[in-house]
A and B are shown apart, each in its own frame.
Chain A
Amino acid sequence: MDTCIQKIREIAGDLLEKGEVERVIGFAEGSIPMATSPVAISTKEDAQKLCFSSTCGLNLANYASKEKGKKIAVVAKGCDSRNLVTHIVENQIDRDNLYIIGVPCPGMVDKFKIAAEMGGEITGFEEAGDTLIVSTVDDKKELNKQDYLRHNCSLCTHKNPVLFDVLVGEEVEEQQLDNAYPDVDAIEALTADGRWKHFEELTQNCIRCYACRNACPLCYCPTCFVDESGPQWVGKGQDKTDVDTFHFLRAFHCAGRCTDCGACVEACPMGINVRDFTRKLNKDAQDMFGWEAGLTIDKRPPLDAYSPDDPNDFIK
């Protein structure tokens, strides 16, 4: 990890010094254990602020698309790179203005799971390879990182960036999965009442802060449908129907575009597994169209393209 950080800083410093980019968007150390913060670096000296660890769980493609017209470099994990691809396909980023510093990703850790294991507030967090050394005021534990990976990372088959200008480390081995969607299968196996209960509980504590939406690189609509006032599609209170309408519609809007980067879950202050909505649609995109989002800049997402092979009859 340390050599990878060194490499990121070197490359970033170099790009800025040579004037090849105006800003480098990466992660900086946070102010508390297990926190990192997206940062824009514009001088070689400041490149020393860049870091990388298993707690860089947000998706920087979300920031890249907001720097329109500027030449920028972005530190990109596998999933970030897939969202950069999506952004390029959807004309949110100009490939010529983008320099991708690819990071073969070792997987991000699940902060809620670690906090639950530790029982108290985390006061220290270190990584040594696959070992996480986590402390609270009265405890210190060594945890096996593989047991505390975020759920999306544990099922990730694109740890290596799919599009990059430089890689900061050796490519990591991609895992082969027998079943990429065990979680979706489990929900599908429930009775109708069971599924209803599952989703009722899932969003029961949603406070509609929209962190999931705002952390999502796909959610770049100038005015989100929930913020529209003429007509107003959704009520703004805590009525369950309105809360769920937001989640359902957002998921559908991401269908065939979602890379399962997990930024939505990472950002949710309530620890809601928002991916329960998007994953089902990812699986459908896979089953119906053989599609995984963000793997190539040469193809548009299935719901955005016409094909004579479309499995649905109505379109023929």
Chain B
Amino acid sequence: MENPYLPYPVRIDDIEIATEDKSLKTFKFVFLNEGDEEKFAYQAGQFAELSIPGVGEIPIGIASSPVEKGFVKFTVFRTGVVTSYLHNMKVGDIMGLRGPLGNWYPWDKLEGKNVVIIGGGFAFTTLRSSIVYMLDPANRSKFGNIDVVYGARSPGMLLYREELYEWEKRSDINMHITVDGTDDPDWKYNKGFVPQIVEEKAPQADADTFAIVCGPPIMIKFTQPALTKLGYGPDQIIMSLENRMKCGIGMCGRCNIGKELVCKDGPVFTLEEINMTPKEY
């Protein structure tokens, strides 16, 4: 078996500033060694450790989609030691990628179902991966209605803006983009916080509808009651958690919520599962 601590060598192929405040950048990596991309086969919802020798590692959700080949993408918020270093790296630099890690959104279970995707701020990365996956011509017919509620502080803080506006134009996905506020007179989408837009725009729950929620703790906290109001049961609300991680493979012991390890048993849990564990995230 291979060494789970040893990252695949990758080269930074492209760096894109993702938000107007430059606190987020999207990094596109290509694998240096033939065959590594196949070994890195992932599902939407998984994460990986971005590994910079001499600096450290950070667990980041995979923003590219399994249907996109030849590269992997991560959108990274600059906050700690490793992310700050990464933000200063250049195209062509060599680093490591360890993964894919964790579980994923339950795509088997979601087959034939309506999916409501709810995201806020920069926690839209694995949701982007999921949307691209579901919209892929090979997959679109596997799912019912797709609704997306995605909000950020301002238009310039929305991730993947061009793709969002493209999806807006499509008929096989219902987009509900929102911002907390904007002065832009040409803004033609929603204004208001995510929970409020969920309550107004998201479909009522039925047995065949599932919600995937990803966002900052405050958004999740207020989105839950909105979903409950719409009739979503705890088993129909699927969430992705974050915790401090090191190994990413369930061994180093820090990311647990009760007996579940967020890195290995998660990061994706249903609200029903989360309700049975201590809220240590």
Contact = CB atoms under 8 A, between A and B. Distances in A.
Interface in A209-246: 229-230, 232
B86 to A, nearest CB: 14
A232 B81 CA distance: 9
A59 to B, nearest CB: 30
Interface residues of B, number: 2
Contacts of B81: 229-230, 232
A195 B191 CA distance: 70
B80 interface: yes
Interface footprint category on A = under 10
Nearest to A231: B81
Contacts of B80: 229-230
Nearest to B84: A230
Nearest to A230: B81
B140 to A, nearest CB: 45
A118 B81 CA distance: 51
Interface in B49-96: 80-81
A311 B92 CA distance: 57
Interface in B127-185: none
A297 B81 CA distance: 41
A235 to B, nearest CB: 13
A122 to B, nearest CB: 33
Nearest to A229: B81
Contacts of A230: 80-81
A233 to B, nearest CB: 13
Interface in A175-229: 229
A230 B81 CA distance: 7
A232 B84 CA distance: 14
Interface in A157-175: none
Nearest to A232: B81
A229 B80 CA distance: 9
A37 to B, nearest CB: 26
A230 B79 CA distance: 11
Contacts of A232: 81
A264 to B, nearest CB: 27
A229 B82 CA distance: 10
B53 to A, nearest CB: 16
A229 B79 CA distance: 12
A56 B211 CA distance: 57
A315 B81 CA distance: 37
5 contacts: A229-B80, A229-B81, A230-B80, A230-B81, A232-B81
Interface of B: 80-81
Q: Which 5 A-B pairs give the minimum distances between C-beta atoms? A: A229-B81, A230-B81, A229-B80, A232-B81, A230-B80
